[in-house]
Structure 1
Amino acid sequence: MDSEEPIEQLPRGIALAWGVAATPQRGPKREMSVERIVDAAIEIADQEGITAVSMSAVAKRLGYTPMSLYRYVSAKDDLLLLMQEEATGLPPEISAEEPAWRARLEELYEAQTEVYRRKSWLLTMPITGSPITPNSSAWLEASLEALDATSLTEDEKMAASLLVTGAARWRGSILAGYQQQGRAKGLNDAEVSEQESRLFDTVITEDGYPFLRRAIDAGVFTSESDPFVFGFERGLDGLADYIELVGRQRAGEATDTHEDTEAVGSAGGASGSAGEASGSERVAAEGSEDIPDGDPTVMADNKYRDAQKAVKQAQKVLAEARKRERQTLREAKERAAKRR
């Protein structure tokens, strides 16, 4: 939205969520409020599910007519948006000692999962776009803040934040489904898992599904391990490796850019030779670390580091060659212009 457009251009529901919508001057005994309407709607959703929420049902619970509600919340879609905003709440605050980015993302993942576990009706609401209400935005803000000190770009930080949100929603939907099934049948979590395992055991044969059969025999459906947490943690492992990798690469690019700037004005060929020589000397110096004899893991790691250094050196040589190419082209253009 253009910064010069008036705030009244915001959709009514979003304006209400941000507290910038005008409230009616007249109402039934001035006892009605948007907050009371939303609270009553959430009570209905908690008890009967989101499908039971309607303007008439909320009005009845509050003891007013539906028309009284429309003075405050003009459409059911706006009411659903406000319910989602209230039920989502705010992310947990950062502790006194600010955690590392991974610990903070794990904390947000668990907290979001708990929101979906407590308010499972949130999972039945359609996703119509990016979160634009205060509380929903605060969850994204918390993830982005956790990643602020990393070497990720803004696009990458947002993608990592959505990894947390998506994984929490998926896990929350599964847990909520199991809880609903357990309540309906009077079973606890362990009993639901046992029942599920027996069903699989009945229909899955080794001939038709040999790998799934092996997993069933290993007890995966009754295991105490959480497969969703395992998957999320491995996702964070990959993110950690990526952050480390791009951190080294981007630090190397910054160093190369600084060296290229210092080399401006030097002779093209001599500059290239000098750059290659200094790079080779640096690689040789960096590769002179003491390595324990007979340790294959350390040796493998060292080979990987050497390969990375070689790639960086090649990238630097290529960048210098392209710089010389651009300089040569500029000089050729200048000579052609003088001839004219």
Structure 2
Amino acid sequence: MVDDTPPNELVRLWRLPTGARLGRPAGLDVEQVVRTAVQLADRDGLSGATLPKIAETLGVTPMSLYRHIGSKEELLVLMGDAATGPPPDFLAPVDDWRPALREWACALWSIHRQRPWLTQLPISGPPSGPSAIGWMDAGLRALRPTGLDAGAKVGIVMVVSGYVRQADLLAQQLEQGRRATGLDEPETNRNYARHMARLVDPARFPDAAALFTSDLFESPPPTPDPTRDDFEFGLNIILDGIATTITRAGA
């Protein structure tokens, strides 16, 4: 007989009721530990949410935290699910997959931009927490009118969410580089193009040389938020690819 009893880490992740345990500090539970960890990560980054710092903030010993979480790895999963939160209700009609999926991706992007440490969390398995399942459900619901099979829908949700994560990581790293130089993005781009134009040999790299001597890097960004522009450009390419997949499937 198959035992479908959820393991302890899923019990904690879903906040399922459990029996009282002797010796548990009064007023301390999984929710409080995770909430404190998220607050520390929001303030100091993921490196600031260590078990000793969490324990110090809560006024307990680090070892006492293990009465509420199984491991540091489990805590990261708990933090990610709590910090992502539930997906927003769709504003776009769900009978049109493209604006609904775009809305889904942009909402996820906004959360990642608000909490940069989310991209630093390891991916240890498929979605398993209530928030992660909520986002999966919303993504699948956006794709419901496509007529694609379950495997294709799950694949699309993974591709789009992976793009959001990677785009945010790239944006963070570029921002860190600009802060190190003290230049804004337009000035960074202009300097980059000018240096490359001097270094790149047109005989060896003809197309790259033409790019660096064009006016692309000299032009001002089309909006005050070029990072968002870059994200949406890539998202549109992915959505175009999904549309082609739907057409080929005859859905």
TM-score range, shorter chain: 0.7 to 0.9
1:151-300 matches, within 5 Å, as: 151-201=147-197, 203-221=199-217, 224=221, 226-247=229-250
Question: Which structure is higher in RCO with an 8 Å CA cutoff and minimum separation 6?
Answer: 2
User: Structure 1 residue 74: deviation in Å?
Assistant: 2.9
User: Structure 1 residue 80: deviation in Å?
Assistant: 0.9
More helix per residue: 1 or 2?
A: 1
Q: Distance in 1 between matches of 2:75 and 2:11?
A: 12
1:149-195 deviations in Å (ceiling 9; x for gaps): 22211111111212211221121111222333344555444444445
Alpha carbons 1:109, 1:167 under 8 Å: kept: no
1:52-91 deviations in Å (ceiling 9; x for gaps): 3321111112222112222212311111111111111122
- Give the secondary structure class of the aligned counterpart of 2:103: helix
Alpha carbons 1:13, 1:79 under 8 Å: kept: no
Alpha carbons 2:98, 2:239 under 8 Å: kept: yes
Q: Which runs of 5+ in 2 are unaligned?
A: 223-228
- After TM superposition, the structure 1 stretch with the greater mean CA deviation from structure 2, 78-87 or 185-194, is 185-194
Matched with 2:4 is 5
Change (3 A) 1:150 1:98: closer
Q: Distance in 2 between matches of 1:105 and 1:219?
A: 34
The one-letter code sitting in structure 2 at the alignment partner of 1:240 is A
Matched with 1:75 is 71
Change (3 A) 1:5 1:246: closer
Matched with 2:24 is 27
Change (3 A) 1:70 1:212: same
Which of 1 and 2 has greater Rg? 1
User: Structure 1 residue 102: deviation in Å?
Assistant: 0.4
Change (3 A) 1:160 1:172: same
* TM-score, normalisation: structure 1: 0.63
Q: Find the partner of 1:119 among 89, 96, 115.
A: 115
Instruction: Calculate the aligned-residue CA RMSD, in Å.
Output: 2.7
- Give the secondary structure class of the aligned counterpart of 1:149: helix
Q: Find the partner of 1:56 among 41, 52, 59.
A: 52
Q: Distance in 2 between matches of 1:96 and 1:207?
A: 50
Aligned residues: 243
Q: Distance in 1 between matches of 2:182 and 2:9?
A: 39
Percent sequence identity over matched residues? Answer: 31
Matched with 1:133 is 129
- Give the secondary structure class of the aligned counterpart of 1:131: coil
Q: Distance in 2 between matches of 1:207 and 1:84?
A: 49
Q: Distance in 2 between matches of 1:96 and 1:232?
A: 17
Matched with 1:42 is 38
Alignment of 1:108 onto 2:104: yes
User: Structure 1 residue 99: deviation in Å?
Assistant: 5.5
Q: Distance in 2 between matches of 1:212 and 1:96?
A: 40
Alpha carbons 1:38, 1:79 under 8 Å: kept: yes
User: Structure 1 residue 24: deviation in Å?
Assistant: 4.0
User: Structure 1 residue 199: deviation in Å?
Assistant: 5.0
The one-letter code sitting in structure 2 at the alignment partner of 1:217 is T
Matched with 2:91 is 95
Q: Distance in 1 between matches of 2:45 and 2:27?
A: 26
- Give the secondary structure class of the aligned counterpart of 2:250: helix
Matched with 2:225 is none
Q: Which runs of 5+ in 1 are unaligned?
A: 249-340
